[in-house]
Structure 1
Amino acid sequence: MAEVIHFDESALHIDGPVAEFLHQRPQTRNAMSMVLRDDYARMIDWVARDLSIRALILTGEGGSFCSGGDVKGMQQRLGNPDPAVNSPDATRRRLEDSHRWLTPLRELDVPVIAAVDGGAFGAGFSLALQADFILASSRAVFAMAFARMGAVPDYGALHTLPRIVGLANAKDLMLTGRRVGAEEGRALGFVHAIHAPEALPPAARAFAQKLAQGPREAAAMTKRLLNRSFETDYAAMCTFEAYAQGVAMHTPYHAEAAARFAKGEPPAYDWDKPASGQ
């Protein structure tokens, strides 16, 4: 039976092995408010503790993924004379506090899918890049809009974006702040697939359901190793690989897969096998 956990500006829908986190502030195009940040921290803790969840979808309500930082909140802070609220150090602390949940989001043991319909601007684009896959609607628009506000890209984008699109393309997107459609996003490599707006939600759920059939432990370790592969030398990565394989090949999932192979049975997880009904 499906379960819904309501937070302050969002909700987590859990249906079997798939959880879907929905931004529910469409009047602001789902801006990244301080409240939504706290919702993320609570949601990630929930998903990390519930081992029945095998895939997570991030998405937005009302035709927008996330419009970026809460500009009204920024204006209020800039008018506040309290240095605990409005100072370089206060800004640094707020951003470092965001990584209290952004880092665990990136390191979740389960695959994370950003289903982007409409705008993903500034921090919203950065947030989508923390996912393992971005599925976009045909009307999705991405922009590293920080330059328009005289700000530096944040939410980890200075790390994630150049590793996906290359340094030259990252400079283009970050220094211009220009808008990028779904097709260009796919050409640059950060959009995995494009769907019609009405088809995006079911397509994201079907994609998540398929990923959820895979090996939880092996997928988790593969994610962790890949996330460190650009900063790790070859010898160290080979050592990590050996330790991870030692764990993976002693899991029940591997034992069952090996038994099926020995019997000539098809694997339980076969991405190329059409889904039932296709």
Structure 2
Amino acid sequence: MIKTTIEDGIATVVLARPERKNALNAAMFAELGDIVDALRRDTSVKALLLTGEGDDFCAGADVSSMQTATDAADVHARMLENQRPCHAFASFERPVIAAVDGVAYGAGFSLALMADFVLASERARFSLAFARIGLVPDLGMVHMLPRMIGIQRARELIYSARELPAAEAQALGLVLDVCPPAELRARALELARALASQSAVGFALTKRLLAHSFERSLTSLLDAEAGAQAVAFTSAYVMESAARFIRKEPARFSWPPFAAK
């Protein structure tokens, strides 16, 4: 139910259950965690593109599976298993791009925000639908959303469970770019390829620093930054980049024009 391909260093992971709007069941949660963890260990993979098959990204967790819950202990154990993709993406220190078409509801919304960047089609729709059926947000949403848009707007989206169109999601800073559906996959691949051309060492160190930027003090981050810069500065990528600059040659990395808006 999850398809994976690797081409030119870009791993494309596709949630492939279109008849259910790519809703995640227990098997898919486990499979996604395993796949992302395996890709993390594959040094040939320079970036990861996450998307859905058909006209939707992900409708969230499969509601039909909720009827099999027996008690709170059973649900708690299941949730710990379902969190495997969270841990896998958190430890994936290379670029992750989410290409969202159609719905990204509930856990699907959470899954999209695990990416470094979210690109959306004009028909993409986001919703923290948990409150509609009496549930709490999961897959790390209460950690990610307030940090991205502030606690007041996070409360509004969580408590209301309203639908968020792509343009508003971009205005809030949750989406980098919005484009026609036919252009979505190509733009996502363009961004993934561009980020993959960066220094793997420099990107991983930067992503690690950013992951802790809200929890650590300035003094602590300055110390971590100095250590990270010492490692990055002595990498082969920096040596090559400096040589290219001196020779007035183009840099290896170039930010895609569409993302500069």
- The TM-score with structure 1 as length reference comes to 0.90
Aligned counterparts of 2:25 and 2:172: Cα–Cα separation in 1: 29
1:25 aligns with 2:22: no
Amino acid in the other structure paired with 2:75: T
1:221 aligns with 2:213: no
Aligned counterparts of 1:14 and 1:271: Cα–Cα separation in 2: 22
Deviation at 1:197, TM superposition (A): 0.7
Q: Name the SS for the 1:91 alignment partner.
A: helix
Q: Residues 140-187 of structure 1: CA distance to partner in whole angstroms, max 9, x if unpaired?
A: 000000000100101000000111111111000000000000000001
* Of 85, 96, 99, the match for 1:101: 85
Structure holding more helix per residue: 2
Amino acid in the other structure paired with 1:118: G
Deviation at 1:267, TM superposition (A): 1.8
Amino acid in the other structure paired with 2:10: V
Aligned counterparts of 1:201 and 1:268: Cα–Cα separation in 2: 23
% identity of equivalent residues? 41
Aligned partner of 1:257 in structure 2 is 241
What are the ranges of 5 or more consecutive residues in structure 2 without an aligned counterpart?
none
1:15-54 → structure 2 map (5 Å cutoff): 15-54=7-46
Aligned counterparts of 1:13 and 1:216: Cα–Cα separation in 2: 20
**Given the superposition, is the C-alpha separation of residues 88 and 254 from structure 1 closer, same or farther in structure 2, using an over 3 Å criterion?**
same
* Of 59, 65, 68, the match for 2:60: 68
Deviation at 1:106, TM superposition (A): 2.4
Amino acid in the other structure paired with 1:214: Q
Deviation at 1:107, TM superposition (A): 2.8
Extract structure 1 runs of 4+ deviating beyond 3 A: none
Aligned partner of 1:83 in structure 2 is none
**Given the superposition, is the C-alpha separation of residues 272 and 122 from structure 1 closer, same or farther in structure 2, using an over 3 Å criterion?**
closer
* Of 171, 181, 201, the match for 1:187: 171
Deviation at 1:273, TM superposition (A): 7.8
**Given the superposition, is the C-alpha separation of residues 179 and 272 from structure 1 closer, same or farther in structure 2, using an over 3 Å criterion?**
closer
Amino acid in the other structure paired with 1:19: A
Deviation at 1:242, TM superposition (A): 0.8
What is the root-mean-square deviation of aligned Cα atoms in Å? 1.4
- Mapped contact 1:121–1:142 kept (Cα < 8 A): yes
Tell me how many residue pairs correspond in the alignment.
258
- The TM-score with structure 2 as length reference comes to 0.95
Q: Name the SS for the 1:142 alignment partner.
A: strand
Aligned partner of 1:81 in structure 2 is none
Deviation at 1:50, TM superposition (A): 1.3
Deviation at 1:271, TM superposition (A): 2.2
1:208 aligns with 2:171: no
Amino acid in the other structure paired with 2:216: T
